[in-house]
Amino acid sequence: MTRRSVLMGAAVAALLAAAPALAASPDLPRKTVDLVAPPFVHPHQQATREGPAIVAFKMVIEEKEVVIDEAGTKFRAMTFNGTMPGPMMVVHEGDYVELTLVNPDTNTMPHNIDFHAATGALGGGALTHVNPGEQVVLRFKATRTGAFVYHCAPEGMIPWHVVSGMSGTLMVLPRNGLKDRDGKPLRYDRIYYVGENDLYVPRDETGKYKTYESLAESYSDTTEVMRKLIPTHVVFNGKVGALTGANAMTAKVGETVMIVHSQANRDTRPHLIGGHGDYVWETGKFANPPEKNLETWFVRGGSAGAALYTFLQPGIYAYVNHNLIEAVELGATAHFKVEGTWNDDLMTQVSPPGPITPGKVGAAGTSVVK
Binding site for another protein (CB under 8 A): 70-72, 206-208, 244-246, 248, 273, 313-318, 320, 327-329, 333, 335, 337-342, 344, 348-349, 351-355
Instruction: Return the number of the residue (35 or 272) whose C-beta is nearest another protein.
Output: 272
Whole-number Å distance between alpha carbons of 220 and 187: 47
Instruction: Return the number of the residue (72 or 358) whose C-beta is nearest another protein.
Output: 72
CB of 226 to another protein, least distance (A): 22
CB of 217 to another protein, least distance (A): 23
CB of 231 to another protein, least distance (A): 17
CB of 357 to another protein, least distance (A): 12
Instruction: Return the number of the residue (110 or 315) whose C-beta is nearest another protein.
Output: 315
Contact assessment for residue 52 and residue 94, using Cβ atoms and an 8 Å cutoff: yes
CA atoms lying within 13 Å on the CB side of residue 18: 6
**Whole-number CA gyration radius for the chain:** 24
Instruction: Return the number of the residue (126 or 324) whose C-beta is nearest another protein.
Output: 324
CB of 282 to another protein, least distance (A): 23
CB of 355 to another protein, least distance (A): 6
Whole-number Å distance between alpha carbons of 82 and 152: 14
Instruction: Return the number of the residue (19 or 246) whose C-beta is nearest another protein.
Output: 246
Residues classed as catalytic? 111, 114, 116, 151-152, 161, 166, 271, 295-296, 322
Instruction: Return the number of the residue (10 or 347) whose C-beta is nearest another protein.
Output: 347
Strands 167-173 and 88-92: parallel
